[in-house]
Amino acid sequence: MKPALLALTLSALLAPALAHAADAQPISAAQYAEVLKGTWRAPQNVVRDVYRHPQQSLQFFGLRPNQTVIEITPGSGWYSELLAPLLKDHGHYIAAVQAPTASDYARKSEETLKAKFAATPAQYAKAQVVEFDPKAPVLGKPGSADTVLTFRNVHNWVLADTAPLMFESFFKVLKPGGVLGVVDHRAKDGSSLDEIKHSGYLTTAYVVKLATDAGFKLEEKSEINANPKDTKDYPEGVWTLPPALTLGEKDKAKYVAIGESDRMTLRFVKPAK
């Protein structure tokens, strides 16, 4: 075989392997910078980056561009604005939402999310929305996802008494070795269940137990989303703070100065078989 032809043949053979290897690498700082400054992002979402630390959080969870990632109840799509574009070329972003029959809030949230996706097809054309019954959640084919992410949702499931079912559904849909990433409002250690339900803050131990009872192993904790200014003792619980600011103008400057809640950031793994 002629040298030139041999070189072309080797290049053709190596190209798919090299492309796969590139996809398996962590998302670069340049890629994060591009989506963080994306014009499709809502201005009210951009200003929350300082509290939510999206790049650091997704890096901590080990996001890769070729993964199948399921985000649980993404609301109006704060993280969708980042995840869908990051995964659109080589991965798969799935927004798992409560079926619209679950509540009026669930119906409106799904409508808002689908409208967002339809409005900017360049970023969201490949994004998928799947519905689940919160009382019997199924998020997809067993072992089909690389990563499941949930941001500030566990306290809602605790209030609804569906948290164990949700964590079991995460375990089922993940591949062996798959990652569950959890961010939620962090209570003071030793807080009672009644305090948790009233305040919206959860103890780290409570969330870890939910996950390990479902079969997960806690791999690592992070202080990325910690806020030492948060005293966790407000009239309307965590919703007193931004972005909810439930008290309206009453002491607003005080709560804005505190910022968003102190949050745990936990990475769990489904043990490989």
Q: Using a cut of 0.85, tell me whether the model's pTM lies above it.
A: yes
Q: How confident is the model at residue 16 (pLDDT cuts 50, 70, 90)?
A: very low
Q: How confident is the model at residue 2 (pLDDT cuts 50, 70, 90)?
A: low
pLDDT at 3 over 90: no
What local confidence, expressed as pLDDT, does residue 20 receive?
A: 46
pLDDT at 257 over 80: yes
pLDDT at 196 over 70: yes
The pair of structure tokens assigned to 153 is 């949702």
pLDDT at 182 over 70: yes
The pair of structure tokens assigned to 121 is 């097809």
What local confidence, expressed as pLDDT, does residue 5 receive?
A: 53
Average pLDDT of span 160-189 = 98
147 forms bridges with which residues in the sheet? 69, 179
